[in-house]
Structure 1
Amino acid sequence: MRTQSIPVTDPAAGLKLTEIFYSLQGEANEAGHPTVFVRLTGCPLRCVYCDTTYSFDGGTRFGLDDIIQQISQYNAKYVCVTGGEPLAQPNCVVLLKTLCDSGFKVSLETSGALDISKVDTRVSRIVDVKTPSSHEQHRNMIENYPHLTQHDQIKFVISDRADYEWSKDFLMQHQLANLVSTVWFSPAFAIEGNVRLPPLARNLAQWILEDHLPVKFQLQLHKLLWQDEKGR
């Protein structure tokens, strides 16, 4: 359940957007908060479990002032800039700073494959670590980690036991739990058929408990509430 997307109509400049919509934040530290989502178009990665492939292409250029105006009409405190991969568009950094300057609480969902160093540190950067099952493990940009702060978060999407063991080792090797406010371990959802509790979920929860990992388990709230296969 969400509001209807606002058409992206301004050809002037700025950023290429797939949609702007208003819904509950479904994951990470702000889960449950009414949030405006700004989905930028394009992504250089092709993760196997991606649930937003419709954002890879198309989109329409949208002026920065118009983006802020459309966001403001929802009277929401929280804004999440997502994709695709938002940082694939250089003007994303300008958008994030402008949102912070405008008084919004801002989060960024990013693949972890592009440089985050220029992103305003007022933004809560939710950085993925790509696991082997994504087939994009080689894209993890370890150079990003020194730029992380306690305002940021890290997310692993885990598809099987091999992913879990790899993630556990990666977590410890890079001491990620010491760098950010939260490390999330999230089971991958199927992207076909009716969305339901993923079969891996209970096992993943048990593995975390058995290994006493310094992480938080999470499910995508929006998918549980609205059976939303596109992650919206």
Structure 2
Amino acid sequence: MLITEIFHSIQGEGTLIGIPMLFVRTNVCNIRCEWCDTKYSFYGGREIALSDILNIVKEAKEQWVCFTGGEPLVQRDALSFVEGSLKLGKKILIETNGTVPIRNFTISDNIVLDVDVKSPSAKVRKPFLEENLKYIRDTDYLKIVIKDREDLDFAINFIRGHRKNLNYVLQPAWGSDIRMIADAIVETDLNVRVLPQLHKIMYGEMRGV
């Protein structure tokens, strides 16, 4: 599997925010968002045998593994890695960009899927895979990063036009006005969570956190 980095840190976003995790960050992404904060994962990386990665997972003190990228689900060994980590007794958070099928990764209650819906400021040409909505479970969530009012309006319209009963997280892009987002959501009838990027509040824009 092509890996950018493996590190120990605190989950910085989404509904599992604040939980210590082993992060396995893969290389390569199929969409390359405008505001991606891990652009270094687009290139380079190193090939590590699946067995070696699973040995690291086995020895990790953390109960949770965050499988992220780049886009982790484009890796050839993605499913084997997830299945192997489950067999080791780990819980897994998969962070995926919403353009890759997730059906094969809903095989266990010990997997949580963080599925992106890309807002206009991301400037992504590949569309959100609507079929994925059929496989989102109560434990999973859709995340929409918000940079400005256009993004916020997009998010509100998306939620109202799709399954309202799903878990939604609105996350301000780093440097954006989280209060604007929170105040706007309070005025709606939507039951969504507005969460910052905790790891950036704690560490700033550092690699490997």
User: So what's the TM-score if we normalise by structure 1?
Assistant: 0.85
Structure 2 residue 123 is the aligned partner of structure 1 residue 135: yes
Cα distance in 1 for partners of 2:25, 2:45 equals: 10
1:79 corresponds to which residue?
A: 65
Among all aligned residue pairs of Structure 1 and Structure 2, give the percentage whose two residues are the same amino acid.
Answer: 36
Cα distance in 1 for partners of 2:66, 2:20 equals: 10
Cα distance in 2 for partners of 1:231, 1:188 equals: 19
Structure 2 residue 34 is the aligned partner of structure 1 residue 48: yes
Report the 3-state secondary structure (helix = DSSP H, G, I; strand = E; otherwise coil) of the residue aligned with 1:26.
coil
Cα distance in 2 for partners of 1:113, 1:231 equals: 25
Cα-Cα RMSD:
1.4
Partners of 2:32 and 2:42 within 8 A in 1: no
Task: Count residues in correspondence.
Answer: 207
Cα distance in 1 for partners of 2:119, 2:126 equals: 9
The letter of the residue matching 1:75 is K
Q: CA deviation at 1:231?
A: 7.3
Partners of 2:31 and 2:125 within 8 A in 1: no
Report the 3-state secondary structure (helix = DSSP H, G, I; strand = E; otherwise coil) of the residue aligned with 1:22.
strand
Partners of 1:26 and 1:220 within 8 A in 2: yes
Structure 2 residue 209 is the aligned partner of structure 1 residue 224: no
1:27 corresponds to which residue?
A: 13
Structure 2 residue 145 is the aligned partner of structure 1 residue 157: yes
The letter of the residue matching 1:225 is M
User: So what's the TM-score if we normalise by structure 2?
Assistant: 0.94
Q: CA deviation at 1:156?
A: 0.2
The letter of the residue matching 2:64 is Y
Residues 203 and 229 of structure 1, relative CA distance in 2, 3 Å threshold: farther
Q: Which runs of 4+ in 1 moved over 3 A?
A: none
Cα distance in 2 for partners of 1:94, 1:225 equals: 33
Cα distance in 1 for partners of 2:141, 2:188 equals: 21
Unmatched 5+ stretches in structure 1: 1-14, 190-197
Match of 1:206 among 160, 176, 183: 183
1:148 corresponds to which residue?
A: 136
Match of 1:187 among 160, 169, 172: 172
Q: CA deviation at 1:230?
A: 4.4
Report the 3-state secondary structure (helix = DSSP H, G, I; strand = E; otherwise coil) of the residue aligned with 1:178.
coil
Cα distance in 1 for partners of 2:147, 2:32 equals: 16
Q: CA deviation at 1:138?
A: 4.4
Unmatched 5+ stretches in structure 2: none
